[in-house]
């Protein structure tokens, strides 16, 4: 039902119902406000149009009753000349609009059409919030598509098995959260979950980080350090971007996986470790093996149980649900009022390919929450729709990277430490990128939360 039309004048009621019906609306006529209240509640998907002057219950009284049921239900009031001031007061209370008699039927049709669009958006946003709140908190695992149901099923099966796991997925698809989920669903949940990004650690320190060292093992090693592998004893060691590991380090990791023992730098002491290894790669390791960039024996030692995370473009039906969850979280984080998404944002959700996957969607939701993206302003990271105007791949990557940095700076009001932490890059790399993209970090310092420069 699109419209509930209430008027005690049978002739006027019939004429308006006919006009709305000819315009394509589904209309339910009611001779009184009391009759309408028997059918209209907070779940009503349409618009209420009511005359003001009616016996037993006026249109103003009806509006106030409906407002208590649902403050977002659009109510359009039909007034005589003497009721205009009353209708204006009702609009201040939240009525959608009023039509003064006599009014052109085109005006009624147009007002109803706009009110219906607003109602549709309100109900869709409510549905997104409801589904997001009811869904799991495991962010990349949130979804109702068959692909995500299958992923959850595989993780349940693998989590209980004491085997090493190789997780493959594109950048931003949520590999660390999948690894963490495997840990939490396993018998090791009470022990440490230790994450190491092999691609972010310099070659000069990664061996010490993984295996640990004794005091004096090398210049600068002033005291003993327990490595990440030993620290994960009894729990799970997550090795992200394992494709970045050097051939020499691959040999040492293979030894750890085969013998479950570690030898810190600067000592001949061998220490037993009880760990489960979850490794992740953002590229196809089989291709690296074929090209000689990754050891074949290490690959098969890791790939006892392989898990693939589907990219967002393969589960488009989950995008709106994920976005609703991330938007609610972003509004809470930035202390903003809940945001109602419009047709422009929804169109972007439905048509964008999301090359950055879940991470890109999270950042997009944050920009919407901060007011940096509206229906009138195109999303900062959106590429031009015309293929000929899209630019080269490096140009598009640079534009996306610059937008991410600006958004992070705006969200953290120019705080370098917080911005670097949210982006997950070293401080030196951050400053290099600022110079490359011509971004003035100081312009964001102290700016109102969400300000974009």
Tell if the pTM clears 0.75, that is, is over it. no
List pLDDT tens digits, range 12-59.
Answer: 999 999 999 999 999 999 999 999 999 998 889 999 999 999 999 999
**Which pLDDT tens digit goes with each residue over 410-441?**
777 788 888 888 888 888 888 888 888 888 77
Assess whether pLDDT exceeds 80 at residue 114: yes
CB 213 within 8 A of CB 265: yes
pLDDT tens sequence across 329-362: 888 888 888 777 777 888 889 889 999 998 899 9
Cα dihedral 173, 177, 181, 184, rounded to 10, equals: 180
Q: Tell me: pLDDT of 251 over 90.
A: yes
Q: What secondary structure letter does DSSP report for 389?
A: G
Cα 384 from Cα 222, distance rounded (Å): 54
The proportion of the chain whose per-residue pLDDT surpasses 90, expressed as a percent, equals: 40
pLDDT in tens, 359-371: 899 999 998 988 8
pLDDT tens-digit map of 186-217: 999 989 999 999 888 887 788 888 988 787 76
Pairing mode, strands 276-281 and 165-168: parallel
CA distance 63 to 51: 10
Are the beta carbons of 261 and 270 closer than 8 angstroms? Answer: yes
Q: What gap in Å lies between CA 433 and CA 429, rounded to an integer?
A: 6
Contact indicator for 45, 66 with CB cutoff of 8 Å: no
Element holding 64 (H helix, E strand): helix 59-69
Collapsed DSSP state (helix, strand, coil) of residue 156: helix
Q: If pLDDT is split at 50, 70 and 90, which confidence band does 87 have? A: confident
Q: How confident is the model at residue 231 (pLDDT cuts 50, 70, 90)?
A: very high
Residue 71 CB burial class (10 angstroms; 0-12, 13-18, ≥19): exposed
Burial per residue of 314-338, b for 16 or more beta-carbon CB atoms within 10 angstroms, e otherwise:
ebeebbbbbbbbbbbbbbeeeebee
**Is 142's pLDDT higher than 70?**
yes
């Amino acid at each position: 039902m699109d419209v509930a039309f209430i008027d005690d004048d049978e002739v006027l009621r019939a004429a308006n119902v006919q006009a709305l019906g000819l315009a394509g609306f589904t209309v339910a006529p009611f001779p009184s406000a009391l009759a309408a209240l028997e059918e209209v509640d907070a779940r009503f998907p349409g618009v209420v149009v009511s005359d003001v002057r009616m016996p037993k219950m006026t249109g103003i009284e009806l509006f106030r009753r409906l407002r208590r049921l649902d403050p977002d239900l659009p109510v359009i009031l039909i007034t005589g000349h003497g009721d205009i001031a009353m209708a204006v007061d009702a609009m201040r209370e939240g009525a959608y609009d009023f039509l003064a008699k006599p009014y052109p039927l085109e005006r009624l049709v147009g007002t109803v059409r706009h009110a219906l669009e607003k109602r549709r958006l309100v109900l869709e946003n409510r549905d997104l919030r409801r589904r997001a709140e009811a869904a799991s908190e495991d962010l990349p695992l949130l979804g109702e598509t068959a692909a995500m149901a299958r992923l959850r099923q595989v993780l349940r099966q693998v989590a209980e098995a004491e085997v090493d796991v190789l997780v493959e997925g594109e950048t931003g698809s949520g590999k660390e959260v999948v690894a963490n989920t495997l840990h939490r669903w396993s018998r090791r949940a009470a022990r440490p979950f230790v994450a190491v990004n092999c691609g972010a650690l310099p070659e000069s320190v990664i061996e010490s980080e993984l295996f640990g060292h004794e005091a004096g093992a090398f210049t600068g090693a002033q005291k003993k350090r327990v490595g990440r592998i030993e620290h994960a004893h009894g729990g799970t060691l997550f090795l992200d971007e394992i494709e970045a590991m050097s051939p020499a380090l691959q040999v040492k990791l293979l030894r750890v996986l085969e013998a479950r023992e570690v030898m810190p730098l600067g000592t001949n002491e061998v220490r037993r470790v009880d760990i489960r290894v979850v490794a992740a790669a953002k590229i196809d390791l089989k291709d690296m093996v074929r090209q000689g960039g990754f050891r074949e024996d290490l690959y098969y030692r890791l790939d006892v149980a392989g898990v693939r995370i589907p990219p967002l473009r393969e589960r488009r039906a989950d995008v709106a649900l994920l976005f609703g969850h991330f938007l609610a979280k972003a509004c809470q984080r930035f202390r903003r009022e809940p945001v109602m998404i419009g047709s422009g944002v929804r169109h972007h959700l439905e048509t964008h390919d999301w090359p950055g996957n879940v991470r890109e969607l999270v950042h997009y939701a944050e920009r919407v929450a901060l007011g940096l993206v509206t229906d009138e302003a195109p999303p900062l990271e959106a590429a031009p729709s015309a293929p000929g105007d899209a630019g080269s791949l490096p140009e598009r990557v640079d534009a996306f990277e610059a937008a991410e940095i600006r958004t992070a700076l705006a969200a953290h009001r120019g705080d370098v430490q917080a911005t670097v932490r949210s982006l997950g890059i070293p401080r030196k790399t951050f400053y290099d990128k600022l110079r490359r993209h011509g971004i003035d970090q100081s312009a964001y310092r102290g700016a109102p939360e969400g300000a974009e420069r």
